[in-house]
Amino acid sequence: MLINFNLNNENVQVDVNPKKRLLDVLREEFGMTSVKEGCGKGECGACTVFLESKRVNSCLVPIFQVVDKKVVTLEYVKSWEAYKILENSFIENGAVQCGFCIPGFIMSTVSLFNETDGKLNKPMIEEKLGGNICRCTGYSKIVDSIYSFADDNAFLMKIKEGFKDEKQ
């Protein structure tokens, strides 16, 4: 079946089984390998992408559900100014180990700021990132990397700018 959707701000078309998972379509048809499969059951968060600006586990989304919708992956987000700042924070804080969960954490973090208007406290981070599992770090340094922007308005504006770009 021909499926049309918007991927990373471009209209795309793909001919696949409509039941195919968004995760597989992104990886196999479009080479979006930042989207990782950790569990295939919506439990680990490694395959997090944005669907209509909301984060979803792409392993639980059949491709027919994205027809005419907007899908965004880290391949696009990584060009945002906000991403560069976040990337730097994760590096400086030593928050990355094996790295397999990390793209998912970045996507959830970006979404977290967008949804909470940036006024974050640690319990909110815990709640919103509770669906992203990491086996290496003990989470502490990941939280440190994020918490440093807890009330950073300039950073929040950059996140919003990213999402605005995407809506154009």
Partner 1 sequence: MSIKRSELRVDAKEKLNGEAKYVRDEKIPNMIFGATVRSSISNGIIKNITFSKDYNWNNITIITAKDIILNKVSFLELDMPFLAEKFVRYIGEPIVLLASNDRDELNEAKKHVFIEYEEFPSIINLMESENSEIKLYGSNNIFKEIKINKGDLESAVVEAKHKISIETETGFQEHLYLEPQGAVAIPEPNRVTIRGSMQCPYYVKNALDKMFGGEKKITVIQTTTGGAFGGKEDFPSLLAGHAALLAVKSGKPVAMFYDREEDVRYTTKRHPSKCFYTAYTDDEGLILGLDIKLYFDGGAYSTLSSVVLSRGALTSIGSYYIPNARVIAKAVATNTVPSGAFRGFGGPQAVFAIEMLMEKIANELNISPLEIRKKNLIAAGLDTITGQLLKYSVSSKETFNDAIFMSRYQEKYDEFKKHNKNILTKLNNGDYPKDNENDKLKGIGIGLSIHGSGFTGTGENKIRGKIRCEVKDDGKIEIFTAITEMGQGEKTTFRKILADALSISIDEVLLSEVNTDLVPDSGPTVASRSTMVIGSLLVEVADELIEELTDILNTENEKGFVYKEGYFYDGDKIVCFSEAAKKIKGKHLFKEYSHPPLIKFDDINYIGDAYPVFSWAASIAEVEVDPVTFETKVVNFYTSHDIGKAINHDQVIAQIQGGCLQGIGYALYERTEIKNGKFDISGFNDYIIPTLTESPNFYVNVIENPYPFGPFGAKGLGELPLVGAGPAVASAFWMIFNKEFNKIPILPEMILEKIFEKEGTYVD
Residues that bind partner 1 (CB under 8 A): 27, 31, 33-41, 43-44, 46, 73-75, 78, 83, 87, 90-92, 94-103, 106, 125-127, 129-143
Distance CA 137, CA 161 (A): 30
Q: Are 159 and 82 in contact (CB under 8 A)?
A: yes
CB of 168 to partner 1, least distance (A): 23
- Closer CB to partner 1, residue 57 or residue 114? 57
CB 72 within 8 A of CB 49: yes
Query: Which residue, 4 or 106, has its beta carbon nearer to partner 1?
Result: 106
Min separation Cβ 86 and partner 1, Å = 8
Q: Which is nearer to partner 1, 41 or 167 (CB)?
A: 41
CB of 100 to partner 1, least distance (A): 3
Kind and range of the H or E run holding 111: helix 102-116
Beta bridge partners of 71: 7, 51
Q: How far is 11 from 113, CA to CA, in rounded Å?
A: 27
> What dihedral do alpha carbons 36, 111, 108, 44 form, nearest 10°?
-80
CB of 94 to partner 1, least distance (A): 4
| Residue 84 beta carbon to partner 1: minimum distance, rounded to whole angstroms | 10
Looking at beta carbons only, is 31 or 167 nearer to partner 1?
A: 31
**Sheet of strand 2-7, all strands in order from the earlier edge strand to the far edge:** 10-15, 2-7, 70-72, 48-51, 54-57
> Closer CB to partner 1, residue 44 or residue 66?
44
